[in-house]
Amino acid sequence: MNPTVAIVAQGAMGAGVGARLVENGLRVVTSLTGRSAASAKRAEAAGMVAVSDQEASQADFFLSIVPPAEAIALAERMSPLIAAGNKKTVYVDCNAVSPPTKISVGEIVTAAGSPFVDASIMGAPPKPGSDGPLFAASGEDSKAFAALSEFGLKIHTLTGPIGAATALKMSYAGITKGTTALASMMMLAATRAGIADDFLAELQRSQPGPLATFMRAVPDMFDKAYRYNGEMAEIADYAGDDPAARKVYKAFEEFYTRLAADAEGEKVEIGALAAFLKVEPKK
């Protein structure tokens, strides 16, 4: 029999992964506890079946795909139900948190008797015609998770322990989302200085490769800054042995927190970035 997969939550990544698994013949369930109407709509569109926390806890696999700040809370919410049930779901934490946080999540889950997999996601949500994103997985139970590669997921197992896949994600996102923050800061600085068009022209002339990345990554960030700030906090913790690196990522956390508030409010800085890149911000 094909496995049943539970996915919480139903954001762009969670719903995208759910849709990919449904397309490949799996039953995918989700709990809408505490989630918005928009989340419920995304889940339905992806073919995910809304169930209780209790039923979700008894799936063959439970994929946690939530904002970083919610990773521990979700594990604490599900673990008593897992412990009380007959089936010990393979709990796969896919969240962008630091290795110590991922180890803490693992301790909560394994105390409930479940296998635990440290996973990280590299790349954008699944799209038609693409085999991505890549799931990196570590820990002694990672090979169990790799079984889902037969149902449309691209999974690479690492030889390291719990925390290894997360360290890979922290290093990767530190560059990708870090450079998005840095580029956005300089676009805003150029706008304040009145040389936005000149700066854009110079990027077009001498940095066409990075500019192409910024043209995609910066607008894509506008409605995700509320998640990126928590990710920057986790990366600051990950890089904490280097005081300079910690300060850099704490500054990026502050910047994304400010942009998240702006995205929900007047869209002053979001609008300035959109104007610099000559794109329309999302409504």
pLDDT at 251: 98
**Over 90: is that where the pLDDT of 282 sits?**
no
- Token pair listed for 136: 């990196």
pLDDT for the residue 24: 96
Q: Which pLDDT score, from 0 to 100, does residue 130 have?
A: 87
- Collapsing DSSP to helix, strand or coil, 144 comes out as helix
Q: How confident is the model at residue 175 (pLDDT cuts 50, 70, 90)?
A: very high
User: Would you state the pLDDT for residue 242?
Assistant: 97
Q: Tell me, what amino acid is at 53? A: D
Residue 83 has pLDDT above 70, yes or no: yes
Q: Which CATH class is domain 4-162?
A: alpha beta
For residue 181, CA distances in Å to 11, 255, 258 come to 22, 7, 11
User: Per-residue pLDDT averaged across 240-260, rounded?
Assistant: 97
> What CATH number does domain 167-277 carry, 1.10.1040, 1.10.10, 1.20.1530, 3.30.300?
1.10.1040
For residues 247-261, one letter each, b for 16 or more C-beta atoms within 10 angstroms of the residue's C-beta and e for the rest, the string is ebbbebbebbbebbe
260-281 average pLDDT score: 95
Give the number of C-alpha atoms closer than 13 A to the C-alpha of residue 132, restricted to the C-beta side: 8
Q: Name residues whose C-beta falls within 8 Å of residue 115's C-beta, 6 or more positions apart in sequence.
A: 88, 90, 91, 141, 144
| Comma-separated ranges of CATH 1.10.1040 domains in the chain | 167-277
80 CB neighbour count, 10 Å cutoff: 12
Pairing of strands 134-138, 116-122: antiparallel
Share of the chain above pLDDT 90, in %: 94
CA distances from 108 to 82, 94, 115, 220 (A): 11, 15, 11, 34
Mean pLDDT value across residues 22-31: 97
pLDDT band of 151, cuts 50, 70, 90: very high
Average pLDDT of the residues in 82-100: 96
Instruction: Kindly report, as residue ranges, where domains of CATH 3.40.50.720 are found in the chain.
Output: 4-162
Tell me what the mean pLDDT of segment 120-149 comes to: 94
Average pLDDT over residues 266-280: 96
pLDDT value for 1: 87
Instruction: Write down the pLDDT at residue 23.
Output: 96
Instruction: Tell me what percent of the residues of the chain surpass a pLDDT of 70.
Output: 99
Give residue 57's pLDDT. 97
| Largest Cα–Cα separation, the chain | 64
The rounded mean pLDDT for the chain is: 96
pLDDT at 283: 61
